Structure 1
């Protein structure tokens, strides 16, 4: 189907408008971050570029400690979520066992529950298990939160995988576990990469769980550290903008390098059956 020049022009206008809506606030934050401290706020081009704002925000906000905590928690959550989601997704998609459909729909209920609904009972449960105020109090709940989406995502991916290939591997004597890791997982890499990127973004940006579960300063993650930094520098907009960019930059860089795999997984990784 050919698209007329009028339709193409209208599409470009609409896309340009939405791109401007997304980019203009970001540009304002970047300009504010390089504006000399104490110059006020507003969408203006600064007379001089103050890159020292980033170094000052990094030092004052102790972001080296917070970023290390965020990296540790995020990597642990992504690894655990990926391994468990791949295993469970394959089981629900290709293995027949009693109650599989019921268990799957119970797991999907996790997508419907916001963290605010269970954060208080979860805190008391973890406190009774002597897990609070540790990295495990951040890793385990966020892994459980990610599993509902991860299992749903990988199940649909494995349902769309050619069944003839799996049967051929089984005829050749491959076990289910070997079939999964050597036959099914490699072609599913774009979908797995997309899931990992989404879980990374959600875990990195998580604020409520670290706020409730940890009190020690060395365990705080970057978004939580940014909130405390904001409270200490409420009127220093340049430092706040610089700190915000510092916290957001790792996810932006990660997406920049993995955008092709992410888009490929979004377009081709999920299909319905």
Structure 2
């Protein structure tokens, strides 16, 4: 498709406008975070005397270091385990003709429609009976299960798009199912796995409700729970609240910037296949 000069210029202008609208809230939060702690931020203005120490205070008050380690522990288990299960299930549903596969797929679709908030209370009593309440496992186990419908559906969509001729050629060469999956399917699935891994990381890192309900110890919750430390005497200290919010968002923004090529590549791959 040929794009003329006018369309190109208009497209770039729109991209610049969207970029500015996206960065404006972050810039506003930064200027508010640098205000004096005893001042209420008003408007978008760079302070004459920036208080960079607000970030240190917010880091200590919110126990962000402790919560970061807790979040990393949860993420380090939830994301890899979810990717492994989703890959195996997606490959089975998308590439293999397994008995009952359609029923399993329908069950996954139904799982996508269930509101997360509707099952928090039953999960609490079930995890209490398992004896894992008030531990990080009370967050890890439910998250793996809650992510499965979307993750399996995502990976199944990828494996369906892989030409069946590759599988047939592998069978002719004498490759087993595991050999085909390891040597042919997994290398082709790297963009889809990368994008899914990013999504799972963001969802797990920003998880707030489940740790709040399942864990009584604030030091075992996730990074999103750091803002809860500003209740009470710090509720009116808005600059510290903005500083803590930026610290909480920083890891997710960094992960997206680092892996944006893989994420965009997976989306474009799906668009080309479609």
Decide: shared fold, TM above 0.5: yes
Residue 141 of structure 1: how far off its partner (Å):
0.7
- 2:196 alignment counterpart: 195
CA distance in 1 between counterparts of 2:272 and 2:201 reads 23
The question of whether the paired residues in 2 share the 8 Å contact of 1:160 and 1:271 is answered with no
Deviation, 1:244, is 0.7
Matches within 5 A, 1:1-273: 1-42=1-42, 43-269=44-270
Bigger Cα displacement from structure 2, 115-124 vs 174-183: 174-183
Name the CA distance, whole Å, in 2 between partners of 1:18 and 1:69: 35
Cα displacement (A) at 1:225 = 2.3
Q: 8 Å contact 2:207–2:224 — kept in the other structure? A: yes
3-state DSSP class of the match of 1:97?
Answer: coil
d(CA) in 2 for partners of 1:229 and 1:84? 38
Structure 1 residue runs of 4 or more that deviate by more than 4 Å after TM superposition: 269-273
SS at match of 2:86: helix
Distance 2:110 2:158 in 1: 20
- After superposition, give the CA deviation of every residue in 1:88-141 in whole Å (9 maximum; x if it has no partner): 000001111221011111012221112111111111111122221111110011
TM-score of the two chains, using structure 1 as the length reference: 0.93
Give secondary structure in 1 for the equivalent of 2:143: helix
Alpha-carbon offset, residue 149 of structure 1? 1.0
Structure 1 unaligned runs (5+)?
A: none
Q: CA 1:232 to 1:72, structure 2 compared with 1: closer, same or farther past 3 Å?
A: farther
Does structure 2 conserve the Cα–Cα contact (< 8 Å) formed by 1:153 and 1:270? no
1:240 to partner: Cα distance:
0.8
Rounded Cα–Cα distance in structure 2 between residues aligned with 1:230 and 1:151: 39
Name the SS for the 1:141 alignment partner.
helix
The separation in 1 between residues aligned to 2:206 and 2:233, in whole angstroms, is 20
SS of the equivalent of 2:259 reads helix
8 Å Cα contact 2:139/2:211 also seen in 1: yes
8 Å contact kept, 1:190–1:269: no
Q: CA RMSD in A?
A: 1.8
What SS does the aligned partner of 1:185 have? helix
Task: Deviation per CA, 1:126-163: give whole Å up to 9, x if none.
Answer: 11222211111100111111111111111111111122
Partners of 1:32 and 1:241 within 8 A in 2: yes
- 8 Å Cα contact 1:73/1:139 also seen in 2: yes
Secondary structure class of the residue paired with 1:165: helix
Distance 1:79 1:263 in 2: 21
**Given that residues 132 and 213 in structure 1 are in contact (C-alpha distance below 8 angstroms), is that contact kept between their aligned partners in structure 2?**
yes
Distance 2:214 2:249 in 1: 22
What is the count of residue pairs matched by the alignment? Answer: 273
